Structure 1
Amino acid sequence: MKSDIFLEKARLGPRNKVLVEHDEKRHLPGIKRRFKAYTHVDLAHVVMLVEHDILDPQRGGRLLDTLLEIQALGAAGFPWVAESGSCLVQFESFLSEHCGEDIAGRLQTGRSRNDQEAAVERLYFRDLLLELFALLSNLERQIIERSIRHADLIMPGYTHLQHAQPWTFGHYLMREAFIFERDLQRMQGLYARTNLSSLGGAAQVGTSWPLDRERTAALLGHEGLVVNANDAGEFARDHIEEAIAVLSIMMSNLGRFATDLYVWSSWEFSLLEIDDGLAGTSSIMPQKKNPHALERIKSLAGQSAGWLPAVMSCQRGVLSTDLDMVYGEDIVSNATDACRDALELMTECVRTLIVHESTMRERADVYWSTASHVADEIVRRFDFPFRVAHHVVGAFVKASIEAGEPVSKASSTRLDEAALAIAGCSLEIGDAELRKMLNAESFIQSRVTIGSANPMEVVRQADQVTSDLAVHQQWLVERCARIDTALTDLHKQARHLSAS
Structure 2
Amino acid sequence: MKTEPGIRHNVTRMLRYLALGGAMACYASFASAQDAPERDAFFWLGEMNKATAVINSEEGLLEAEMVPGIAAAIAQVIEEGNQPDADRPSTVITFEPLLIEAGSIDVTLLHAGRSSQDMHATYRAAILRDGLLSLADQLNATATTLVDLAERHKDTIVPNYTNGVAAQPNSFGHYLLGHAAGFSRDAQRIREAYARIDRSAMGTTVLNGTSWPLNRERMSDYLGFAGLVDNAYDASQISSMDHPVEVGQVVTSIALHSGNFVEDIMTQYAQTKPWILLEEGGENTYVSSAMPQKRNPGLLNNTRSDASQTIALAMGPVWQTHNITPGMPDPKGVGDNSAIVDAGINTLDRLDKVLKALVINPERALEELNSDWTASQELADLLMRDHGLPFREGHHFASEIVTYARSNDLGPLDFPYAEAQRIYAETVEGTDHPQELPLSEEQFRATLDPVAIIKARATTGGPQPAEMDRMIAAAREDIAAQEAWIGERRAHIDDALAKLDQDFQALLNGEAAPEGEEEANQ
Whether TM exceeds 0.5 here: the answer is: yes
Q: Aligned pair 1:48/2:64, yes or no?
A: no
Does residue 1:190 correspond to 2:200, yes or no?
Answer: no
3-state DSSP of counterpart to 2:214: coil
Structure 1 residue aligned with 2:416 = 411
Matched residue, 2:275: 271
| 1:76-475 equivalence runs, <5 A | 77=84, 79-80=86-87, 87-103=91-107, 105-236=108-239, 237-268=241-272, 270-275=274-279, 276-281=281-286, 282-285=288-291, 287-326=293-332, 330-424=335-429, 425-427=435-437, 429-475=439-485
Q: Which runs of 4+ in 1 moved over 6 A?
A: none
> Is 2:316–2:331's contact at 8 Å kept on the other side of the alignment?
no
2:488 is equivalent to residue 478 of structure 1: yes
The secondary structure found in structure 2 opposite 1:155 is strand
**Contact 1:252 1:304 survives alignment (8 Å):** no
Q: Is the 8 Å Cα contact of residues 248 and 307 (structure 1) preserved in structure 2?
A: no
Letter in 2 for 1:413: A
Residue identity in the other structure for 1:303? Q
1:368 is aligned with what amino acid? W
Among 69, 76, 79, which residue is 1:62 paired with?
Answer: 69
2:408 is matched by which residue type in structure 1?
A
DSSP 3-state at the match of 1:365: helix
CA distance in 2, matches of 1:235, 1:186: 20
Largest Rg, 1 or 2: 2
TM-score by length of 1: 0.87
Deviations 1:418-474 (Å, cap 9, x if unpaired)? 222221122152333211110111111111111111233222110111112222222
Q: 1:441 to 1:120 in 2, by over 3 A?
A: same
Q: 1:288 offset after TM fit, Å?
A: 4.0
Q: For 2:463, give the aligned amino acid.
A: A
TM-score (norm 2): 0.84
Q: Residues of 2 paired with 1:180 and 1:76: CA distance? A: 40
Q: Distance in 2 between matches of 1:65 and 1:264?
A: 65
Distance 1:123 1:58, change over 3 A: farther
Once the two structures are TM-superposed, the CA of residue 99 in structure 1 deviates from its matched residue by 2.2
Identity %: 28
User: Residue type matched to 1:62 in 2?
Assistant: G
Q: Are the aligned partners of 1:70 and 1:78 in contact in 2 as well (CA < 8 Å)?
A: no
**Aligned-pair Cα RMSD in Å:** 2.3
Q: What secondary structure does 1:163 align onto?
A: strand
Measure how far apart 1:111 and its partner are. 0.8
CA distance in 2, matches of 1:280, 1:252: 23
Contact 1:410 1:434 in 2 (8 A): no
Render the CA deviation track for 1:283-317: whole Å, top value 9, x for unaligned: 44455433333222212222333445431232234
Secondary structure of 1:409's counterpart equals: coil
* Contact 2:446-2:452 within 8 A present in 1 as well: yes
One-letter identity of the residue aligned with 2:300: L
**Per-residue displacement from partner, 1:117-176 (whole Å, max 9, x unpaired)?**
100011001111111111111111111111111000000111122110000110111111
On the 8 A contact 1:304/1:335 being kept in 2, the answer is yes
Partner of 1:273: helix, strand, or coil?
strand
Alignment partner of 1:262: what SS? Answer: helix
Q: State the 1:207 CA deviation.
A: 0.8
Structure 1 gap ranges (5+): 1-30
Q: Note the C-alpha offset of 1:403.
A: 2.0
Paired residues, what number? Answer: 465
Question: For residues 75 and 375 of structure 1, what CA distance do their matches in structure 2 show?
Answer: 71
Asked whether 1:491 is paired with 2:496, we answer no
Contact 2:381 / 2:391 at 8 angstroms: preserved in 1?
Answer: yes
| Equivalent-residue separation in structure 1 for 2:146 and 2:249 (angstroms) | 24
Q: Which runs of 5+ in 2 are unaligned?
A: 1-37, 430-434, 511-522
SS at structure 1 position matched to 2:436: coil
1:287–1:495: structure 2 CA closer, same or farther, 3 Å change rule?
Answer: farther
Aligned counterparts of 1:260 and 1:65: Cα–Cα separation in 2: 60
| 1: CA distance, partners of 2:63 / 2:262 | 58
In structure 1, C-alpha distance between the alignment counterparts of 2:341 and 2:91, rounded to whole Å: 21
TM-fit CA distance, 1:358:
2.2
Contact kept, 8 Å, 1:263 with 1:269, in 2: the verdict is no
Aligned-residue offset at 1:52 = 1.9
Q: Aligned equivalents of 1:177 and 1:492: distance in 2?
A: 42
